[in-house]
Amino acid sequence: MFMAVHIPEQIGYLDEDRNFHSDPSNAPEILKLEPINEQVWVLGYAFAYRNPPLNDAIVFTFDLPKSINLKKVSKMRVSPNHYMGFCRGVERSIDTANSADEPPFHMLERLIHNNHVMRKLEEEKDIRMVSDLRDFDNGTLIISAHGAGPDVKRQAEKQGLKVIDTTCAVVTSVHKRVKSLNDQGYLVIIIGDKNHAEVKGIQAWAGGVVPIVTNVSEVDQIVVNKKGKMAVVSQTTQDLDIFKRIVTVLRSKWPNIEIFNTICKELHKRHLSLKQLSKENEVIIIIGDRGSANTHRLNDISKAINPNTYFIDNVSELDCRWFKDTRRVGIASGTSTPDWIIEEVKEELGRLGGS
């Protein structure tokens, strides 16, 4: 891969070893394309490029002192979070969905919150997204990793559909917990994101209309119509610090409320590792789908510690301006971010840093 450059009164290019060649006539044809492109950058004296396919190679221009030694490119250390890529629940969900063998296949919710993975899965399995069970009457319903309420499976089976349940085991354990609490007469309060598929499923298993709290300020909005037993559970991807803050306020209002920390232990370890990573590095890159709640949580956690935190979906969204004079970069990913997306980002950061 080559990089084209323009120096005042001199045109040249860098070869794959970053040697500068002043004679443009020797530049490969793939470099003789169009001028400045905003997605190709110069980082200090470290030359950075996007690694496009050969037929999309990019030419760009910039001012540069003629005396610079192009071999002297500073290196940038890239440190991945200790926990990266798919969690066990996501891996199991994808494997289970891939094992489905009675088409046509339908889903009410995305299997996991990552568009790259979903496009691949939909192409390979010809999965169709539907908004209502009444939209089809044969084949297989695949329940997402985030789970669904009990009525969904019941109705699907009543329609004669085969049901493939890929619900994460941790989420299933929360379903069982809240169902048991509801059966015992508890009012269940859920700490989580109101519009998330997982929280909607937990709410359904808890009896339907139960309070959902996203932050401390919403606690005062909870209305309890009668005295009785109360319990609180959490969305499995919640940050433990937020959970504890909300629980403290809940206990101040209802001292006898029973607390069940249902946060995924594997994800909590990812949070703890990220907090340390955010302290040790100058810049943090969070990789994941913007529809992924757990990736947004990672971004919030990191940004609270390190304001130089950037959320990207894939390698094309990296901006070299984030890394000016940077020596240490940390990367972390959501639990639904595939390895190939992570590797592309790591490779590009390596090129940006001159490694």
Structure tokens at 47: 């030359």
Dihedral sign, CA of 195, 199, 201, 203? negative
Averaged pLDDT, 15-35: 48
Instruction: Please provide the CATH number assigned to the domain covering 170-263.
Output: 3.40.1010.20
How many CB atoms lie under 10 A from the CB of residue 220? 9
pLDDT tens digits along 123-154: 888 888 999 988 888 999 999 999 999 999 99
Q: What is the assigned CATH class of domain 78-84+266-352?
A: alpha beta
The pLDDT of residue 255 is above 50 = yes
165: left (phi over 0), alpha (psi -120 to 50) or beta: beta
Band (pLDDT 50/70/90 cuts) for residue 86 is very high
**Contact (CB, 8 A) for 350 and 105:** no
Band (pLDDT 50/70/90 cuts) for residue 223 is confident
The pLDDT of residue 30 is above 60 = no
How many CB atoms lie under 10 A from the CB of residue 271? 23
- For CATH 3.40.1010.20, the residue range(s) in the chain are 78-84+266-352, 170-263
What is the average pLDDT score of the chain? 83
**Distances 272 to 86, 135, 277, 305 between C-alpha atoms, Å:** 17, 43, 9, 12
Band (pLDDT 50/70/90 cuts) for residue 297 is very high
pLDDT tens digits along 170-192: 999 999 999 999 999 999 999 99
Give the model's pLDDT for residue 236. Answer: 97
Give the model's pLDDT for residue 324. Answer: 87
Give the model's pLDDT for residue 42. Answer: 36
Give the model's pLDDT for residue 66. Answer: 39
Q: Which amino acid is at 187?
A: L
- Give the catalytic positions in this structure: 198
Rounded CA separation 183/167 (Å): 22
Give the model's pLDDT for residue 167. Answer: 97
Query: What's the N-to-C CA distance of the chain in angstroms?
Result: 15
Which residue, chain included where needed, has tokens 């999309």? 56
The pLDDT of residue 13 is above 90 = no
How many CB atoms lie under 10 A from the CB of residue 225? 6
The pLDDT of residue 1 is above 50 = no
- For CATH 3.40.50.11270, the residue range(s) in the chain are 88-168
Share above pLDDT 90 across residues of the chain, in percent, rounded to a whole number: 69
How many CB atoms lie under 10 A from the CB of residue 173? 12
Band (pLDDT 50/70/90 cuts) for residue 352 is confident
How many CB atoms lie under 10 A from the CB of residue 240? 14
Q: Does domain 88-168 have CATH number 3.40.50.11270?
A: yes
Alpha helices in the chain, H assignment, sequence order: 88-98, 115-125, 150-158, 169-183, 197-205, 240-253, 265-280, 293-305, 339-352
pLDDT tens digits along 226-248: 678 999 999 999 999 999 999 99
Structure tokens at 48: 């950075």
**Contact (CB, 8 A) for 168 and 222:** no
